[in-house]
C-alpha cells in the first residue's frame, strides 16, 4: 500500500508547545519497520500549487499565509508562522492528494499526516492551515477522475472548516462524527453530522458510526472516500472527552474501510488529530489505521499467495 509522508518538513515549534509534532516521524518509523509498505511505496508528496489551494481557500488568505502577515489569526491556528510551516502545510495537502490518486489506482492508500479539518476558506484554526480534504477532493474532481467524493471525518472534533468550505457543493458529501461537547463549540453544518455525548464508549461510538456511514455512503454515491482516522476519540486523549478504546478504534477503521470496499469506493486514509497523554498511544492508534488498510487491501500478503483483486 502506498503511503505519503511529510514529517521531514519540520514545522519549528517552541519548546513545550503542546502539539505532538513528533508523532509524525514516530509513525513513519513504525510503518517502515513493520514491513507493511515496501520502501518504494513510501513516498514524499509534492507541494500543492496556489491554483489547487485556491479551489478551497480565498486568495487573500493564501496571500496572508504565504507572506506571513496573519500574525493576529496565527494565534487561532496555534503555530508560530515560518516559511517551513507554509511548505509543510502545502506538502501535507499534497500527501492527501497523492493518497487520493493512489487509492483510485489501488483501492486504499494513506497520508501519514493531513486531516486538517478546521481550516476554513478564509482562515485557519486548531492547528489547521490548509484544508487538505477540500483541496484534494476538488483536485481529483477538476482532473475529471471522479464525479463524487465523500469525506468521512471521525476525528473527535467536528469537521467545521470542511463543512463550511464544501457547503452547497453537491459533488462532495461531508460526514462528521464527533463529540457534541468538544471544540469547535460553534458547529458548522455538514451534509451529515452525528454528535456523541461526553464519555461515549466503543458501543455507542461504533453503533452511531455504522448508522451514519450507511447513510453517508448511500446518499453520496461517491467514487472516492477521504477518511479522517483521528486518534483523539481515544479514552486517554487529553482533548478527546470520549471513551473509545484502541480496539474500538481499530474496529472503526475496519468498519469504514470494509463498508467502502463493499461498495467499490476507493479510500484515502488521513491521520487528523491525536493528543493522548502518552504520544506512543497516539502513534499506535494511527499505525493500526494504516495496518488495517494494508491488511484489507492485500490479505494474502502474509501467506505470500499472490494478490487478490481489490474490487468486488
Q: How many residues bind Zn ion (CB under 5 A)?
A: 5
Shortest gap between Cβ of 232 and Zn ion (angstroms)?
A: 4
Residue nearer to Zn ion on the CB measure, 155 or 191: 155
Shortest gap between Cβ of 183 and Zn ion (angstroms)?
A: 8
What is the distance between the alpha carbons of residues 103 and 85, in angstroms, rounded to a whole number? 27
Interacting residues with Zn ion between 136 and 155 (CB under 5 A): 155
Residue nearer to Zn ion on the CB measure, 117 or 220: 117
Shortest gap between Cβ of 187 and Zn ion (angstroms)?
A: 13
Answer yes or no whether residue 157 interacts with Zn ion by CB under 5 A.
Answer: yes
Residue nearer to Zn ion on the CB measure, 196 or 294: 196
Shortest gap between Cβ of 223 and Zn ion (angstroms)?
A: 27
Answer yes or no whether residue 232 interacts with Zn ion by CB under 5 A.
Answer: yes
At a CB cut-off of 8 Å and minimum separation 6, what does 18 contact?
275
Answer yes or no whether residue 273 interacts with Zn ion by CB under 5 A.
Answer: yes
DSSP 121-188: SS--BTTBSS-HHHHHHHHHHHTTS-S-EEEEE-SSS--HHHHHHHTT-TTEEEEEEEETTSS-SS--
Answer yes or no whether residue 114 interacts with Zn ion by CB under 5 A.
Answer: no
Residue nearer to Zn ion on the CB measure, 102 or 196: 196
Residue nearer to Zn ion on the CB measure, 179 or 266: 179
Of 299, 267, 309, 289, the C-alpha closest to 109 is 267
Shortest gap between Cβ of 56 and Zn ion (angstroms)?
A: 19
Of 235, 251, 120, 106, the C-alpha closest to 179 is 235
Answer yes or no whether residue 159 interacts with Zn ion by CB under 5 A.
Answer: no
Question: Using CB atoms within 10 A of its CB, is residue 311 exposed (0-12), middle (13-18) or buried (19+)?
Answer: exposed
What is the distance between the alpha carbons of residues 154 and 208, in angstroms, rounded to a whole number? 11
Instruction: Give the CB-side neighbour count of residue 287, counting CA atoms within 13 A.
Output: 20
Residue nearer to Zn ion on the CB measure, 139 or 205: 205
Which residues are at the interface with Zn ion (CB under 5 A)?
A: 155, 157, 230, 232, 273
Amino acid at each position: 500500500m502506498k503511503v505519503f509522508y511529510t514529517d521531514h518538513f519540520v514545522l519549528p515549534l517552541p519548546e513545550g508547545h503542546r502539539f505532538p509534532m513528533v508523532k509524525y516521524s514516530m509513525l513513519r518509523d513504525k510503518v517502515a519497520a513493520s514491513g507493511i509498505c515496501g520502501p518504494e511505496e513510501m513516498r514524499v508528496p509534492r507541494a500543492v500549487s496556489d491554483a489547487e489551494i485556491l479551489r478551497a481557500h480565498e486568495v487573500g488568505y493564501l496571500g496572508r499565509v504565504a507572506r506571513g502577515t496573519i500574525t493576529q489569526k496565527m494565534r487561532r491556528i496555534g503555530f508560530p508562522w515560518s516559511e517551513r510551516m507554509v511548505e509543510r502545510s502545502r506538502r501535507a495537502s499534497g500527501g492527501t492528494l497523492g493518497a487520493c490518486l493512489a487509492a483510485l489506482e489501488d483501492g486504499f492508500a494513506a497520508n501519514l499526516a493531513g486531516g486538517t479539518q478546521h481550516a476554513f476558506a478564509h482562515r485557519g484554526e486548531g492547528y489547521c492551515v490548509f484544508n487538505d480534504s477540500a483541496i484534494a477532493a476538488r483536485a481529483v474532481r477538476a482532473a475529471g477522475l471522479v464525479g463524487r467524493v465523500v469525506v468521512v471525518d471521525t476525528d473527535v472534533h467536528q469537521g467545521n472548516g470542511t463543512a463550511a468550505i464544501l457547503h452547497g457543493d453537491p459533488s462532495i458529501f461531508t460526514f462528521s462524527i464527533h463529540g457534541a461537547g468538544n471544540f469547535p463549540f460553534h458547529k458548522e453544518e455538514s451534509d451529515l453530522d452525528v454528535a456523541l455525548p461526553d464519555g461515549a464508549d466503543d458501543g455507542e461510538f461504533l453503533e452511531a458510526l455504522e448508522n451514519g456511514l450507511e447513510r453517508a455512503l448511500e446518499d453520496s454515491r461517491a467514487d472516492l472516500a477521504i477518511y479522517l482516522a483521528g486518534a483523539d476519540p481515544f479514552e486517554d486523549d487529553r482533548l478527546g472527552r470520549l471513551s473509545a478504546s484502541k480496539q474500538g478504534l481499530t474496529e472503526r477503521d475496519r468498519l469504514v474501510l470494509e463498508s467502502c470496499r463493499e461498495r467499490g469506493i476507493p479510500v484515502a486514509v488521513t491521520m487528523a488529530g491525536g493528543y493522548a497523554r502518552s504520544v506512543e498511544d497516539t502513534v499506535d492508534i494511527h499505525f493500526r489505521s494504516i495496518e488495517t488498510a494494508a491488511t484489507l487491501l492485500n490479505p494474502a500478503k502474509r501467506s505470500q499467495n499472490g494478490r487478490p483483486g481489490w474490487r468486488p
